[in-house]
Structure 1
Amino acid sequence: MEDRVDLESILPYLPVMVRSTSLFWPSQVVEALKALSRGPHHSRVDTGEVLFLAISDLRQSLSLSHSSERLASSAPDGYALFFDDLIFRADAAKWFGDVVPGLANLILRLPSLLEAHYQNSDGSGGREGVKTGLRVLESQEPGIVFLSQELIGALLACSFFCLFPITNRGLKHLPTINFDHLFAWYSCFFRSLYESYSEKQENKIKCITHYFERICSCMPVGVVSFERKVLPFEHCSPCASYPKADFWSKSFTPLCSIKIYRAGLIEDQSCEALEVDFANKYLGGGALHRGCVQEEIRFMINPELIAGMLFLPSMADNEAIEIVGAERFSNYTGYGSSFRFSGDNVDRKGLDSLGRRRTRIIAIDALCSPGKKQFGLECLLREINKALCGFFDQSRSWQHQRLFQDEELSRTRIDQDVKGPLHGAPLTTLGTNEEILGGQMIRSSEEKCIQHVDHQDQIGIATGNWGCGAFGGDPELKATIQWLAASQALRPFISYYTFGVGALDTLDQVTQWILSHEWTVGELWNMLVDYSSQRLTGETNLGFFRWLLPSLSTSDAMMLDVP
């Protein structure tokens, strides 16, 4: 049966055992968890130090005590520091009196939760014939997994107790899933007197413990989906395939509307949009280590995202990961070393027809430290196709099929009666006859072939300085690439958060000028390629926007307040 095949793929990475058709915990584990579930008066687990001893005993009962399965050496100190020295005594009493027993009960139920999951998985979520069971979503194999929030809670409780096997995760390019390194880094920073680093690590742990307090008090009943999206390198009809430079150069797709926000956060945006996770190729990045930038923070305030780290190997250049339904449990302030947990968050996002919260997060990893190479055509293609893979809705490929066909296969001419593409109408275009002149694309109106697509999907893109900051990407380049990818993916709009980066001060003005001149994806792409070529050869050291603005007419420049 397919559900048994799915289980076999993930079983080496789960702590539970299997006998015949049943999942179970070893008897010693059951006894230990039952003791923990009865509270500290019975288990004697009332401090962080004793808690880690209990964790070690559980791991030994699961045969996870040999050298290849050793946890981070500083982890015991981290658990002790946090629960015995940091939090108030009343909070510690609540944690050991209520939360630890609740987590033990949840872990005890993991085998039955998994069995129920597999019984209901295939064809669930309204996708008849689509496998949705928990399994390793292998690289280059698109697929989706639906997990209940309760099952995610049980899996993350296992992470807190460090019950997942470690051996062989690296061979599958799977990221860390146990929490030992999270606590170990807290101990290291604390002992080294790196106060700001230890505080951000401490506040990451506060987000996680708050999540456990919430679910032990009231278990959420929704669903979260995790999907590996792939743009095949080879043509694979009816799926979209990995576009070449010629595809982008000849695209007549109109640019979607774009709104610039100089303040605010992606996760706080109010429109229904795909929210970009500036991801590491290993999902979650340093969330369970010492990292504390955009991706790691998102994984702390929406801890259910961590569950994907269990079964999603690292992303290749033509892959993205989309997660729908993860609930937000925490508020925060700051960024990096200034990150602080700032209390409970009540997520008021509604549920979709599949029981998922209407929060859509797309993880796409940018090139790391590309330097001047990022202006080369190969790197430009890698970045724009990575974004396209994330932004493109593969499940609606029947709408988009013509978008990825060779021009010779079909040229549909449809008169349009729409107020132009600048108002966010999701349109796609096909065409072959264009003339490149001086780096700009000249086209006649009768050569524009526009195919209308379904307007029901009004889900845009919410993003910001993807691949910039620590990854070293050029902000103007990355902003333009994401706009192009969102447009080509037929997204109706893109909301761009600049986070106060000075290089993007003119982003609003430049994008509005481009829209007012009704440029297509192909036209803007060709200008970007032309600029990047000059940047690569040293013909210009200007940023893309300053390079573009001098070519405007005097009246346009005055409109943009260009000196």
Structure 2
Amino acid sequence: MERREDLETILAYLPLVIQDSSLSWPSSHLVEVLEALTKGPSHSRVDWGQTLSDSISDMRQSLSLTPHLSYSALQGYALFFDEKMSKEESSRWFNEVLPAMACLLLRFPSLLELHYLNSENLINGVETGLRVLCSNKAGIVFLSQELIGALLSCSFFCLFPVDDRSSNRLPNINFDKLFGSLISTGRNEHQENKIRCITHYFQRISSCIPPGFVSFERKILSIESGLQAFPDEGFWSTSTVNLCPVEVHTCGLIEDQSVEALEVDFANKYLGGGPLRKGCVQEEIRFMINPELIAGMLFLPAMEVSEAIEVVGAERFSHYTGYSSSFRFSGDYVDTKERDVFGRRKTRIVAIDALRHPGISQYKPECLLREANKALCGFLHVCKNQCMDHEDGVGVATGNWGCGAYGGDPEVKSLLQWIAVSQARRPFMSYYTFGFEALHNLNQVTELVISKGWRVGDVWRKLVEYSNQRLRSSKKRREPKAGLFDWLISTNAA
């Protein structure tokens, strides 16, 4: 295989090497281990959790990977497959699923070579091959669901090198800390159920590998995004763009919405947040029920202030209940979303990271601007890379972005998102309040704003006016008299 610029950027983060112009596994012993696994436990002797743990250590040693896996990680693998799985599940895992995963890994080098061969002709003039999508540079990667299955199998066996990942702002990609959390935490049923989502994904693809594709795009807010000027405070305050309709949902979940919409991932700046660690809130849950999202963590460094990440085509495999410590896997989910011309499920997930614990600073003009621009970056349609049918009809499904654990003001954040959705010329915003009491009158506020004939610039100026009042109250150490919604209603009721 010829030397390629895209491959060169990612090769150090893969467990493969180039030998005689071809991608291959660097260890003949590892190939022997994988070949034995494909033949089942009668041949490999890997038939319970402890032997699986030993096999993972053996494979890593054959690749000279450092550091060694922690005791808790190795024990976590043993614990899950020996004690957390039923005998029936365990039998299927070791007799059917593990051999299929080993087969995928044996084919990983050829799958990756085929990927690079096909990437040149996917979209005219657009680079789509697997590479590190560095910060401050827009780009897109298309991966087949089969190749993603191989990548996630590498994660399961902890075969990705980790040297230099953190220094290059890349998140953890191996599953060792996820399994290790079964040992190192106290009440960890939610961690066990996160793993159940992952093992269910492997069970599904072991019987039938999905035939489609998933794209991962780094979006940059710039003049090239189709804007006439970079959005500063003047841009927002003078915008005459009409506000889009708002649909408020007091119950339901973003991922269950049935219309075509960008589904907002309340993201960490490191894509995924803590799905492979102890995290289990909105973003991490989405990565568990749509595990193909995890593949993006391999090659997408942390987001900068004016960046977002959009993923199109990630298939959902699991039902769930609960949230955080109450999260539970609740069975198989059959994704029936249609596919587009590129074979991607018409599921569009956009990751935007909000300010963390901003406190009173969130009302400062620069913070309002930061959040509005971050949302706008996520919601803008970049025609060159998106390549999606009927994009004009695609709205935004969102909720309390940057609130909850991040400490944002849900009333301010909801209106900031509304003006960003509108400025991006999206046709609607579906807002899921998740039962937040502070948003009980969101419908009333949006109806009031529409009745006044306000546009994006009008709402921005109201946000700034209210925020200035909050800042003045803070300096005088006074409690604010009213939240944003009550203030808007009381000052504009006439």
The two structures share one fold, judged by TM-score above 0.5: yes
Cα drift, residue 187 of structure 1: 1.4
Aligned to 1:203: 193
**Structure 2 counterpart SS, 1:275:** strand
1:294-341 Cα distance to aligned partner (Å, 9 max, x none): 000000000000000000000001000000000000000000000000
Aligned to 1:536: 471
CA separation of 1:549 and 1:343: change in aligned 2, threshold 3 A: same
Question: For residues 375 and 439 of structure 2, what CA distance do their matches in structure 1 show?
Answer: 19
Flag the 1:277–1:241 CA change in 2: closer, same or farther, 3 A. Answer: farther
2:417, 2:401 → 1: CA distance? 9
**Pick aligned residue for 2:155 from 159, 176, 192:** 159
Residue in 2 aligned with 1:106? 104
Q: Which runs of 5+ in 2 are unaligned?
A: none
Return the offset for 1:236.
5.2
User: Distance in 2 between the 1:314 and 1:131 partners?
Assistant: 21
Q: Judge conservation of contact 2:15–2:161 (CA < 8 Å) in 1.
A: yes
- 1:179-207 CA deviation, whole Å, 9 max, x = no partner? 00000111112xxxx33xx1000000000
Per-residue deviation, 1:239? 6.5
Label 1:397 to 1:27 Cα distance change in 2 as closer, same or farther (>3 A). closer
**1:112-511 pair list within 5 angstroms:** 112-124=110-122, 127-189=123-185, 194-195=186-187, 198-232=188-222, 235=223, 242-395=230-383, 457-511=392-446
1:28 paired to 2:16:
no
Check the 8 A contact 1:36/1:42 in 2, yes or no.
yes
RMSD: 1.8
Q: Name the amino acid aligned to 1:63.
A: S
Q: Is the 8 A contact 1:351 1:357 kept in 2?
A: yes
Asked if 1 retains the 8 angstrom alpha-carbon contact of 2:321 and 2:330, the reply is yes
Q: 1:81 deviation in Å?
A: 0.9
Shift of 1:541: 4.1
AA of the residue aligned to 1:224: V
Distance 1:301 1:131, change over 3 A: same
User: Residue 522 of structure 1 corresponds to which residue in structure 2?
Assistant: 457
Identical-pair percentage: 61
Amino acid at match of 1:223: F
Aligned with 1:227: secondary structure? strand
2:487 to 547, 551, 561: 547
Contact residue 240 and residue 394 of structure 1 kept, 8 A:
no
Change (3 A) 1:5 1:209: same
Distance 1:304 1:169 in 2: 20
Q: Distance in 2 between matches of 1:471 and 1:6?
A: 36
Q: Which residue of the partner structure matches residue 81 of structure 1?
A: 79
Which of structures 1 and 2 has the bigger CA Rg? 1
Name the counterpart of 1:407: none
The one-letter code matched in structure 2 to 1:301 is I
Aligned residues of 2:140 and 2:385 also touching (Cα < 8 A): no
CA distance in 2, matches of 1:111, 1:123: 20
Name the aligned partner's letter for residue 138 of structure 1.
Answer: C
Q: Please say if residues 126 and 385 of structure 2, whose CA atoms lie closer than 8 Å, have aligned partners that are also in contact.
A: no
Q: What secondary structure does 1:74 align onto?
A: helix
Are the aligned partners of 2:2 and 2:21 in contact in 1 as well (CA < 8 Å)?
Answer: no
2:290 and 2:467 mapped to 1: Cα distance? 37
Summarize the Cα distance change of 1:91–1:344 in structure 2 as closer, same or farther, 3 Å threshold.
same
Is the partner of 1:117 in helix, strand or coil? Answer: helix
Residue 10 of structure 2 aligns with which residue? 10
User: What TM-score do the two structures reach when normalised by structure 2?
Assistant: 0.96
Asked if the contact 1:462–1:494 (Cα under 8 Å) also holds between the matched residues in 2, the reply is yes
Q: Secondary structure at the match of 1:495?
A: strand
Name the amino acid aligned to 1:115.
E
Match of 2:63 in 1: 62
Count of paired positions: 486
Which stretches in structure 1 are left out of the alignment for 5+ residues? 399-453, 555-563
C-alpha separation between the residues in 1 aligned to 2:20 and 2:90? 41
Q: Describe the superposition over 1:140-193 as per-residue Cα deviations: whole angstroms up to 9, x where unpaired.
A: 01000000000000000000000000100011100010000000111112xxxx
Which residue number corresponds to residue 411 of structure 1?
Answer: none
- Quote how far apart the aligned CAs of 1:28 are: 1.2
With over 3 angstroms needed to count, the CA separation of the structure-2 counterparts of 1:134 and 1:536, relative to structure 1, is same
Q: Structure 1-normalised TM-score?
A: 0.84
Q: CA deviation at 1:72?
A: 3.6
Is contact 2:229–2:235 with CA below 8 Å preserved after alignment?
no
Question: In structure 1, what residue type is equivalent to 2:267?
Answer: A
CA distance in 2, matches of 1:397, 1:74: 42
* Alpha-carbon offset, residue 231 of structure 1: 1.1
For 2:280 and 2:209, locate their aligned partners in 1 and report how far apart those are by CA, in whole Å.
Answer: 27
> Displacement of 1:85 after TM fit?
0.9
1:47 and 2:55 are equivalent in the alignment: no
